[in-house]
Amino acid sequence: MSEQAAERLEAELRRQTDAARAAQSRYLSELAATAAANRPDPGLETFRSQPEQEPAMAVLTDTALPAEQRVEVLRRLGASLSRRAEYIEALLAIVRDRGDDAAVRSVALQTLGGAAFQVVRFRPHQQAYDDVLHDLVDDPVPELRETAVGVLAQQHDPVVQATLLGALRGDGPLPVERERAILLLAEDDHLDNLPWLQELYRNDSASVRAEAVRFMGSYPDAEPTLEGILRNKDEAPSVRQQSGAALRFLTPERFEAVAKEISTDPSDDPDVRTACLSALQHLGDTDRLYADADFVNRVREVRGDESAPQLAQVARDLLAQRPEP
Amino acid sequence: MTAPNAPMSETDLGALIDRLRHAPGGADELAALLPESLPIYRNRSAAEMGRLRGYLLAAFADTGVPQAALPFVLESLATGHVAVEVAGAAVGLRGLAAPTADILAALLRAVDNLAGADATISFEQCQPVWPYRRPTTALTEVVRTVGHFGSRAAAIRPQLELLARQRERFPGPVLKEIQDVLDRLAGCVPEPPAPGHSCCAGPALREQPPGDTTMHAVLEDQDARATSFGEFFRGRPSIVAFFYTRCDNPYKCSLTISKLAALQNRLAERGMAGAVRLAAITYDPDFDLPNRLRRYGADRGVRFGEDARFFRVTTGFQEIRQRFDLGVNYGPSTVNRHRSEVYLLNDEGGIAAAFTRQQWDVAAVLAAVENLAQTSSTGMDGPSGRIVTVWKSNSVSSV
């Protein structure tokens, strides 16, 4: 970069920074004015400081103000405010309050989720945050419910796991869609998920079936199912490829045997054949692969297949790694 | 008392615990339910096991804590990573009149482990439903148990004072609990903790069962090489740990294998690297394929070689499970609970020492290895002190 260009860039960055500072300053002034003009809300009075000292807190906790104004506080200042304990507590109270505006609660929950990434700083609040998430599991606002269930399930939370399992068995309402409930439980491979994943695999959507197959890769008992799916020419190629990946994760040797057959079967889908051959080339036991003369001969037949150019290319690459003597 | 064998629902098991906590002799009957390998725990999920364990341990607050239960209580306190289990262990300890020093140490360890991992739990019933009627947290219960011991816990007052100052670590209510305990201790005349260890201080020793067929069990190592149990574990003493790569408790398998690596270094420093074999065997042989074994060990510092190998059992796992009386059980997909377990085997593959239940100490295992060396016909060669002789098998009683 020339010196002149660097100077131009520096000036532009300085201009943008100054503009952002000015906008922030204007916003804080407006916030102070709003806070001063409004009456305190008794519901969230606990968290209110003197309005002139904490306009952000005053506006955030004033349920009489338009939701957009309160949301704006979090959008503009959320990251810095959530470093302070009193704001975390205020946000927890807002999220918990089912009488408050759904949009404000939702953004407050997102802000808390961001704050929770600061693991050490958030540690004193983690348990209270989890409690609020537990409270949201049966919240009437679907977005809040789904976020809470998702966060808790990722943590392998036993309360939400029990709720989801019970609801899947018909005991109580499901807080999220049935498919999502199964996928969330599947995050914990110490649960009895295989029957639910097999149910999910019967779904009409190929992407849902692919997800089911992906999670089956944690269960050795799923090996025959995965092999069956990989071999099933009536199944969508994307699902078969995912099944191949899952089978390879569980039993690389079984995958190798099946992939050798599929990749050299002219009647099979070219995409699945290419994926299988590519996996064998890049991820398999190369020595064992080349020692299988019958397989190598079949790959030689594939390399000139003009009907499947990608497959032919992978075959040529594979054979080029070990040139014939 | 023998524990029930027939399958029971979680609700029924909870009802049994409730009945025993008020029954004459209930303490011993509850203690008989503690081993995780009991058939009644088969096919339960890990979450259910954690819940049941917490509820069971908490019942000892009503019955008193029998000696047989203490190793289990301390195990949950020191290595538990599920809040309800740790809380149950803490509550259960209130069935003791006075703590030993290692109980106090385990309570402090639990506080450390729970920072950031605490959760709201309840013992209002075995399967409480949210929102709880009587909520509490594991940290709260641990601190309350320290307070319960009053002047007998005065020895750990300095550590409590330190915790009370760590405002960035604990929620306000927990800090208040700690301060309440400190206030109470301030008026106490300090009494020493009860003397001695709270439980089996030394390694447990076990006779080799007659007609043992374990030697024929087929093992596959981290490089997919096959061997038999007898082939690897005969001829020299060995240290063998049990683990599985999907264990999500940071205080169990991951720590065990890291310590096995530390032990390997210590043996090498003492010139004993070739004299003792190291091994780890997975509880989860269907999932823990050679590549997973290798990666898990290497990531934790284990240096693999002819005398340091990780195995999965491809044939004869049940024999090995029986032979070591492994403290493990299985849910529908994988292990649902296990204890920490490391064994020192003599040169015939017999168990010379067992370090189970509580986290083992590298120095203690090293001492047991040296003890075994001294009681066998061992010679030392040269200034490095390398053990060069063939190790003789030890009868259990001579260790």
Contacts of B2 (CB under 8 A, 6+ apart): B32
Our CA-based measurement puts residue A168 at a distance from the nearest CA of chain B, in whole angstroms, of: 16
pLDDT at A51: 46
Tell me phi and psi for residue B225, to 5 degrees.
-90, 135
Our CA-based measurement puts residue A176 at a distance from the nearest CA of chain B, in whole angstroms, of: 17
Reply yes or no on whether the pLDDT at B227 is more than 90.
yes
B246 reaches A (C-beta below 8 A): yes
Reply yes or no on whether the pLDDT at B202 is more than 50.
no
Supply the CATH number for residue B234's domain: 3.40.30.10
How sure is the predictor about A28, in pLDDT bands with cuts at 50, 70 and 90?
confident
Note whether B347 and B383 are same-domain residues: yes
**Closest residue, chain B, to A156 (C-alpha):** B47
pLDDT at A48: 54
Residue B208 lies in a domain: no
How many residues are present in chain B? 399
Nearest to B116 among A119, A157, A219 (CB): A119
B244 reaches A (C-beta below 8 A): no
Amino acid in position B277: R
- Chain A residues in contact with B137 (beta carbon < 8 A): 127
Residue B193 lies in a domain: no
Residue B2 lies in a domain: no
Q: Can you spell out the DSSP letters for B199-248?
A: S--SPB--PPPTT--GGG-EEEETTS-EEEHHHHHSSS-EEEEEE-TT--
- Chain B residues in contact with A191 (beta carbon < 8 A): 45-47, 331-333
Report pLDDT digits (tens) over B341-387. 999 999 999 999 999 988 889 999 999 999 998 876 443 333 333 33
Across the interface, whether the CB atoms of B47 and A121 are under 8 A apart is answered no
How sure is the predictor about B249, in pLDDT bands with cuts at 50, 70 and 90?
very high
Q: Which residue has the tokens 């890769």?
A: A217
**How many domains is chain B partitioned into structurally?**
2
| CA nearest to A65, candidates A37, A28, A96 | A37
Our CA-based measurement puts residue B82 at a distance from the nearest CA of chain A, in whole angstroms, of: 9
Give the best residue of B55, B124, B130 to mutate against chain A (max A CB count within 10 A).
B130
pLDDT at B207: 55
**Closest residue, chain A, to B284 (C-alpha):** A220
**Closest residue, chain B, to A161 (C-alpha):** B47
A169 reaches B (C-beta below 8 A): no
Note whether B312 and B168 are same-domain residues: no
- Measured distance CA(A212)–CA(A204) in Å, rounded: 12
Q: Which of B186, B203, B236 is the last residue of a domain?
A: B186
pTM of the full structure: 0.89
Reply yes or no on whether the pLDDT at A49 is more than 90.
no
pLDDT at A324: 67
- Chain B residues in contact with A194 (beta carbon < 8 A): 332-333
Report pLDDT digits (tens) over A134-143. 999 999 999 9
- Chain A residues in contact with B46 (beta carbon < 8 A): 190-191
Note whether B36 and B173 are same-domain residues: yes
Note whether B132 and B249 are same-domain residues: no
Reply yes or no on whether the pLDDT at A116 is more than 60.
yes
How sure is the predictor about A24, in pLDDT bands with cuts at 50, 70 and 90?
confident
Note whether B149 and B33 are same-domain residues: yes
User: In the predicted model, what is the mean pLDDT of chain B?
Assistant: 89
Q: In 3-state terms, what secondary structure has residue A45?
A: helix
Per the CB < 8 A criterion, the answer to whether A275 and A236 are in contact is no
pLDDT at B379: 39
Q: How far is CA A280 from CA A109, A229, A255, A288, in A?
A: 46, 18, 9, 10
pLDDT at B66: 96
Across the interface, whether the CB atoms of B171 and A124 are under 8 A apart is answered yes
Note whether B72 and B114 are same-domain residues: yes
Across the interface, whether the CB atoms of B334 and A190 are under 8 A apart is answered yes
A283 reaches B (C-beta below 8 A): no
* Domain boundaries, position B223: 214-398
Mean pLDDT to the nearest integer, A174-184: 97
**Closest residue, chain B, to A166 (C-alpha):** B129
pLDDT at B393: 37
Report pLDDT digits (tens) over A186-205. 999 999 999 999 999 999 99
Interface predicted TM-score (ipTM) of this complex, two decimals? 0.88
Residue B299 lies in a domain: yes
Residue B206 lies in a domain: no
Report pLDDT digits (tens) over B277-334. 999 999 999 999 999 999 999 999 999 999 999 999 999 999 999 999 999 999 999 9
Residue B285 lies in a domain: yes
A307 reaches B (C-beta below 8 A): no
Note whether B221 and B349 are same-domain residues: yes
Q: In 3-state terms, what secondary structure has residue B329?
A: strand
Which three-class secondary structure string do you get for A114-141? Answer: HHHCCHHHHHHHHHHHHHHHHHHCCCCC
Note whether B242 and B130 are same-domain residues: no
Query: Which of these ranges, A210-214, A246-250, B84-88, B374-378, has the smallest mean pLDDT?
Result: B374-378
Reply yes or no on whether the pLDDT at B118 is more than 50.
yes
Q: Which residue has the tokens 């499901």?
A: A174
Q: How far is CA B319 from CA B303, B316, B324, B338, B394, in A?
A: 28, 5, 9, 17, 22
Residue B161 lies in a domain: yes
Note whether B81 and B135 are same-domain residues: yes
Note whether B264 and B380 are same-domain residues: yes
pLDDT at B266: 97
- Chain A residues in contact with B127 (beta carbon < 8 A): 162
Note whether B240 and B354 are same-domain residues: yes
Residue B199 lies in a domain: no
Size of the A and B interface in Cβ pairs below 8 Å: 83
How sure is the predictor about B396, in pLDDT bands with cuts at 50, 70 and 90?
very low
Mean pLDDT to the nearest integer, A168-178: 97
pLDDT at B206: 55
Note whether B250 and B356 are same-domain residues: yes
Our CA-based measurement puts residue B214 at a distance from the nearest CA of chain A, in whole angstroms, of: 24
Across the interface, whether the CB atoms of B172 and A124 are under 8 A apart is answered yes
Q: Which residue has the higher pLDDT, B213 or B205?
A: B213
- Which A-chain residues 133-152 have CB contacts (< 8 A) with chain B? 134-135, 137
